[in-house]
Amino acid sequence: MIPVIALVGRPNVGKSTLFNQLTRSRDALVADYPGLTRDRKYGDGKVGGHEFIVIDTGGISGDEQGIDEKMARQSLLAIEEADSVLFLVDGRHGLNPADEMIANHLRRSSKPVTLVVNKTDGINEDIALADFYSLGFGELQPIAAAHGKGVHVLIDHVMLPFAEQVEEARNQIDLDSRGIRIGVVGRPNVGKSTLVNRMLGEDRVVVYDMPGTTRDSVYIPYLRHDKEYTLIDTAGIRRRKHVKEAVEKFSIVKTLQAIQDANVVIVVIDSHEDLVEQDLHMIGYVLDAGRGVVIAINKWDGLQKDEREHIKSEVERRLGFVPYAKVHYISALHGTAVGDLYDTIETTYESCYAKWSTNRLTRILEDAVSEHQPPMVNSRRIKLRYAHQGGSNPPRIVVHGNQVNSLPGSYKRYLENKFRSVLKITGTPIIFEFKSSD
């Protein structure tokens, strides 16, 4: 499991600034379920080769009256989910009574706490730090989140105890799983556990009796039509004796970890509910993590024809940002179209990890160009000469030519569509890079 870091501190100390520095990602997941706080934001952290999940607790109130209660309800949840806590204070404002309150709470938690003194840019660091030793958290970490100063050193320090754990977890995943690793994610009650059960309960599916049951997400390896797969069970169906409250069994951290561990992720959406930001963010998050995505619109049973039409047009409209993701309309409950998911899982996996020769890519490029010439620029025609693969997962295609910087967006889209259809790429973006030789 990749480690989870929580950011806590009173308002305005720079938590969101640090969160943005650590994630640099557009897709943070915000917990906004009934019964859960709206004040926690989750993102994928990547700094200097370290990978982790970061939680920003946002709004601990500065007012001393409310702080105990707010701490209890919001940050304590995040602290509980975390492996390590960064306690932020403001180096410009010095020690504050609210800091002391938070410190009291943190001292009672069993999690490792690092005291981080922010906004040390342009001020005397020693003086800024002096105030905070009295909080009793030992060594202080000075940073300037807004400028990224000290952030690398901080993360090296925080991640040090987890290096071994991360390595072990990676090896364990390889041991526990076989074939394509499939994550099934979605909001509470969309039908994830029903789908997982259905997938494992299909005829001719043989579940190996060796899941890694000691872990938070269970890996369930199985055989289907002579092919091996591993389902990553975020809903905990295997350990669940009876159905608990959705809020209890749903965890964003588990969702993010499952996405990290998967090769292909099925994002399950409930057709009986409106598509909400959460659904879209989850898809965005999967893509950000560089995983293949398959979309399953669930509970397709028992809908009238006009309801189906309406949902389909909504899906088309709202999911326009992932035109390459295949959408399946399924009923996990009745098993309708569940088997069809596998074709898409296979092509998505292949799309993510495929290797193509320079010859093949160049031939596709030449065909595309001869069907439809790039425009003239400065009375010279833009020339596209050859293409090679720059990477996979997500696939990267590098196109070499002359004046490629003047290539219009419409032509780039034409090329992308061409490569996409010839190479049969689904479920993943293709990254194009254009290199000029003049």
221 makes contact with ligand GDP (CB under 6 A): no
Q: CB 407 → ligand GDP: shortest distance, Å?
A: 38
Stretch that binds ligand GDP, among 41-49, 117-125, 308-316, 383-391 (CB under 6 A): 117-125
Of residues 288 through 317, those in contact with ligand GDP by CB under 6 A are 298-299, 301-302
Q: Is 12 annotated as a binding residue?
A: yes
Q: Is 236 annotated as a binding residue?
A: yes
**Are 39 and 58 contacting, i.e. CB atoms less than 8 angstroms apart?**
yes
Q: Considering the complex, state which of residue 146 and residue 223 has its C-beta at the smaller distance from ligand GDP.
A: 146
Nearest CA to 33 out of 226, 211, 140, 188 is that of 188
Report CA 286 to chain centroid distance, whole Å: 5
**Binding mask 122-161 vs ligand GDP (x if CB under 6 A, - otherwise)?**
----------------------xxxx--------------
d(CA 159, CA 404): 42
CB atoms within 10 A of CB 107: 11
How many residues belong to the site for ligand GDP (CB under 6 A)?
32
Q: CB 82 → ligand GDP: shortest distance, Å?
A: 17
347 makes contact with ligand GDP (CB under 6 A): no
Stretch that binds ligand GDP, among 288-296, 329-337, 344-352, 398-406 (CB under 6 A): 329-337
118 makes contact with ligand GDP (CB under 6 A): yes
Instruction: State the pairing for strand pair 140-142/326-329.
Output: unpaired
Rounded (to 5) percent helix, strand, coil in the chain: 40, 25, 35
Q: Is 193 annotated as a binding residue?
A: yes
Structure tokens at 40: 């926690």
Asked if omega into 394 is within 30° of 0 (cis), the reply is yes
Element (H, E) at 165: helix 163-176
Query: Hunting for tokens 């998505």 — which residue is that?
Result: 348
Of residues 10 through 29, those in contact with ligand GDP by CB under 6 A are 11-17
Of residues 164 through 193, those in contact with ligand GDP by CB under 6 A are 186, 188-193
Strand partners, 223: 206, 228
Q: Is 35 annotated as a binding residue?
A: no
Residue nearest to ligand GDP (CB): 191
121 makes contact with ligand GDP (CB under 6 A): yes
Q: What angle is formed at CA 240 by the lines to CA 238 and CA 246, rounded to 5 degrees?
A: 120
**Binding mask 49-78 vs ligand GDP (x if CB under 6 A, - otherwise)?**
------------------------------
Q: Is 60 annotated as a binding residue?
A: yes
Stretch that binds ligand GDP, among 118-126, 210-218, 337-345, 402-410 (CB under 6 A): 118-126
Spell out the residues 6+ positions from residue 324 whose beta carbon is closer than 8 angstroms to its own: 420, 425, 426, 427, 428, 429
d(CA 161, CA 25): 25
Q: Is 121 annotated as a binding residue?
A: yes
